[in-house]
Amino acid sequence: MDRRTNPYTPNAGAPPRFLAGRRTEVADFRVLLQRLTRGYTEQSMVVTGLRGVGKTVLLGEYHRIATEENWVAVETEVSKNTPFGPQMANLARRALLQVSPRARWGAKARAAAGVLKSFSLTVQPDGTLTGGLDVEPDFGRGDSGSLNDDLADVFEAVGEAAQDRERGVVFLFDEVQFLARAELEALIGAVHRTVRKQLPVTFAGAGLPQLPGLAGEAKSYAERLFKFPTIGELGEHAAEALEEPARAEGVTFDPAAVHEIVTYTEGYPYFIQEYGRAVWNIATGATVTHQDAVDARVTVEAELDESFFRARVQRSTQEEERYLRAMAELGPAAQKAADVAAVLGRSSEQVAPLRARLINKGLLYTPRYGYAKFTVPQFDRFMRRYMDLDGPAGT
Ligand SMILES: Nc1ncnc2c1ncn2[C@@H]1O[C@H](COP(=O)(O)OP(=O)(O)O)[C@@H](O)[C@H]1O
Ligand SMILES: [Mg+2]
Q: Tens digits of per-residue pLDDT, 150-163?
A: 999 999 999 999 99
Which residue's CA is minimally distant from atom 6 of ligand 1? 269
Domain with 93, as residue range(s), is 23-227
Q: Are residues 336 and 258 in the same domain?
A: no
> Domain for residue 339, yes or no?
yes
Lowest mean pLDDT among 68-72, 77-81, 194-198: 77-81
Mean pLDDT computed over 298-308: 94
Give the CATH number, domain containing residue 125: 3.40.50.300
> Domain for residue 5, yes or no?
no
Q: Are residues 116 and 202 in the same domain?
A: yes
> Domain for residue 197, yes or no?
yes
Ligand 1 centroid to residue 56 C-alpha, Å: 7
Give the CATH number, domain containing residue 250: 1.10.8
**End of a domain among 290, 310, 330?**
310
Burial of 331 (0-12, 13-18, 19+ CB in 10 A): exposed
Q: Are residues 69 and 199 in the same domain?
A: yes
Q: Are residues 159 and 267 in the same domain?
A: no
Give the CATH number, domain containing residue 338: 1.10.10.10
H/E stretch holding 161: helix 147-164
**Number of neighbours of residue 253 by Cβ within 10 angstroms:** 24
Q: Tens digits of per-residue pLDDT, 214-243?
A: 777 777 777 788 889 999 999 999 999 999
**End of a domain among 310, 335, 353?**
310
- pLDDT for 82: 86
> Domain for residue 293, yes or no?
yes
What SS3 state is found at 249?
coil
Ligand 2 centroid to residue 233 C-alpha, Å: 15
**End of a domain among 284, 310, 336?**
310
- pLDDT for 391: 52
Nearest ligand to the C-alpha of residue 308? 1
Q: Taking 70 as the threshold, does the pLDDT of residue 395 lie above it?
A: no
Amino acid at 38: R
From 270, 374, 379, mutation site for ligand 1 pocket: most ligand atoms within 8 A of C-beta: 270
Q: Are residues 271 and 191 in the same domain?
A: no
Strand partners, 371: 336
Ligand 1 centroid to residue 183 C-alpha, Å: 27
Q: Tens digits of per-residue pLDDT, 111-138?
A: 999 999 999 999 888 888 888 888 888 8
Which residue's CA is minimally distant from atom 13 of ligand 1? 270
CB 13 near ligand 1, within 6 Å: yes
Q: Are residues 254 and 326 in the same domain?
A: no
pLDDT-based confidence at residue 394 (cuts at 50, 70, 90): very low
User: Taking Cα atoms as reference points, which of 86, 135, 129 lies closest to residue 112?
Assistant: 135
> Domain for residue 7, yes or no?
no
Residues 6 or more apart whose CB falls under 8 angstroms from that of 248 comprise: 7, 17, 18
> Domain for residue 395, yes or no?
no
Lowest mean pLDDT among 91-95, 122-126, 149-153, 284-288: 122-126
CB 21 near ligand 1, within 6 Å: yes
CB 48 near ligand 1, within 6 Å: no
Nearest ligand to the C-alpha of residue 50? 1
- pLDDT for 241: 98
From 6, 25, 50, 57, mutation site for ligand 1 pocket: most ligand atoms within 8 A of C-beta: 57
**Number of neighbours of residue 285 by Cβ within 10 angstroms:** 10
Question: Distance from first CA to last CA of the chain, Å, rounded?
Answer: 32
Lowest mean pLDDT among 205-209, 222-226, 239-243, 364-368: 222-226
The β-bridge relationship of strands 371-374 and 364-365 is: antiparallel
Q: Are residues 90 and 189 in the same domain?
A: yes
> Domain for residue 345, yes or no?
yes
Q: Taking 80 as the threshold, does the pLDDT of residue 389 lie above it?
A: no
Amino acid at 294: V
Q: Are residues 247 and 349 in the same domain?
A: no
Q: Are residues 29 and 142 in the same domain?
A: yes
Q: Are residues 346 and 205 in the same domain?
A: no
- pLDDT for 390: 55
Q: Are residues 142 and 288 in the same domain?
A: no
Distance CA 289, CA 256 (A): 7
> Domain for residue 245, yes or no?
yes
Q: Considering its fold, how many domains does the chain have in total? A: 3
The β-bridge relationship of strands 226-227 and 44-48 is: parallel
Q: Are residues 300 and 368 in the same domain?
A: no
CB 85 near ligand 1, within 6 Å: no
- pLDDT for 369: 87
Lowest mean pLDDT among 35-39, 197-201, 217-221, 260-264: 217-221
Q: Taking 70 as the threshold, does the pLDDT of residue 101 lie above it?
A: yes
Share of the chain above pLDDT 90, in %: 76
Which residue's CA is minimally distant from atom 25 of ligand 1? 10
